[in-house]
Amino acid sequence: MSISRRRFLGWMGAAGAGLAAGGRAHAAALPPSGGHPDALGVLFDVTRCIGCRKCEEACNRVNELPPPERPFQDLGVLQKTRRTDARTYTVVNRYEGIPGAKGPLYRKIQCNHCLEPACASACFVRAFTKNPDGAVTYDESVCVGCRYCMIACPFEIPTYEYDKALTPRVMKCTFCHPRLVQGLLPGCVEACPSEALTFGRRRDLLRIARERMAQFPGRYLDHIYGEFEMGGTAWLTISGVPFAAIGMREDLGTTPAPELTKGALGVVPVVAAMWPVLLTGIYAINRRRDRIAREEREAAVAAAVARAEAEAKKKLAEALAKAEKDKKAAIEREVKKALEEAARARGEAPAGPTPGTPGATKPA
């Protein structure tokens, strides 16, 4: 079966057209990344946050979370570093005594809504969805409660309702997805009195951040946290002090979460395809080796038996031959003896029968 050059070129052309039509979704060599182009985000400006906890209050209200132990107006709460928990989607922490900062600094924590969410990548029931608007949402109706999302999240955001016996859920900020759908702002953004939170398209926010940096030289570090961290996040942060000083990890790297597991997942089909081949091969080789060993053993036994048989036959034949010879010799001897006796008898007394000797008639 030969392929004509023209036909081959035709195929190549078709493949090229397919590639072009499919766009980046089909360019397997370069998997897509970057998320939905119009995805939304929030820019958090650390230099503007005053630690009033209004965002916490709004979050609690719009998400109908249980009331806090201490009221949101109580700023004494800020004395302790807190994290998100099953009753709190967002938290503001205070950081004091940071070199280069005039007073205390505040940092808001909530889900960063990664472009490549580790939680979604880790979830084995696809309970997490990265929506086109940028929000990473959670579907409690399928959640098994393995909590692998909490292991996976580099920002330690998802929390769990450990105190519920039968219906525990993972709890985390939804980016107020239900409100975004209605055209409303996220609760925290709406409540912020100091414009520390800026809502918009993520790509616009990146531009705004750069503009602020240019507008106020020396006020910000030249780093938009979340632009590249873990493959990029919808929530972005700019700050005048190193992010590590306000409790943000700077060692997360820029590798998106799915990339971290891609290699291991890629080995799965290799093992599934090649292990049966190798193992069955080893089995078959061993089996064949066993069979050949058995056949050789049987052949050796057969040969030994044949040799022994041949030898026995030879010996028998020899013995028979010898017996024959002995018999002949004996007969001859007897005949000779008889003749001699007859001659002697003829000499002594002519005629008369030859007396029979017993040895002559019996076999030797």
Applying the rule CB under 8 A, the residues between 284 and 313 that interact with another protein are 284, 286-287, 289-291, 294
> Which of 18, 31, 103, 178 lies at the binding interface for another protein (CB under 8 A)?
31
> Hey, which residues between 174 and 203 contact another protein (CB under 8 A)?
none
Q: How far is the CB of 245 from another protein (least distance, A)?
A: 16
> Hey, which residues between 209 and 248 contact another protein (CB under 8 A)?
231
End-to-end CA distance of the chain: 86
252 binds another protein (CB under 8 A): yes
134 binds another protein (CB under 8 A): no
Looking at the Cβ atoms of 279 and 316, the one nearer to another protein is 279
Return the amino acid letter for 274: M
> Hey, which residues between 145 and 174 contact another protein (CB under 8 A)?
145-148, 150-152, 154, 156, 158-169
68 binds another protein (CB under 8 A): no
> Hey, which residues between 84 and 103 contact another protein (CB under 8 A)?
84-86
Size of the site for another protein (CB under 8 A): 87
- Looking up tokens 């632009």 gives 227
Q: How far apart are CA 142 and CA 153, in angstroms?
A: 19
Which three-class secondary structure state does DSSP give residue 336?
helix
122 binds another protein (CB under 8 A): yes
249 binds another protein (CB under 8 A): yes
Q: How far apart are CA 185 and CA 273, in angstroms?
A: 50
11 binds another protein (CB under 8 A): no
- Looking up tokens 């230099």 gives 47
DSSP annotation of 357: P
Phi and psi, residue 21, nearest 5°? -70, -35
What is the C-alpha radius of gyration for the chain, rounded to an integer number of angstroms?
Answer: 50
The b-or-e profile of 175-198 (16+ CB within 10 A means b, else e) is bbbebbeeeebbbbbbbbeeebbb
Q: How far apart are CA 56 and CA 89, in angstroms?
A: 8
Looking at the Cβ atoms of 45 and 229, the one nearer to another protein is 229
The region of 30-38, 100-108, 299-307, 320-328 touching another protein under the rule CB under 8 A is: 30-38
Q: How far apart are CA 2 and CA 126, in angstroms?
A: 47
Q: How far is the CB of 31 from another protein (least distance, A)?
A: 5
Question: What count of other Cβ atoms lies within 10 Å of the Cβ of residue 134?
Answer: 24
Looking at the Cβ atoms of 126 and 362, the one nearer to another protein is 126
The region of 83-91, 173-181, 234-242, 331-339 touching another protein under the rule CB under 8 A is: 83-91
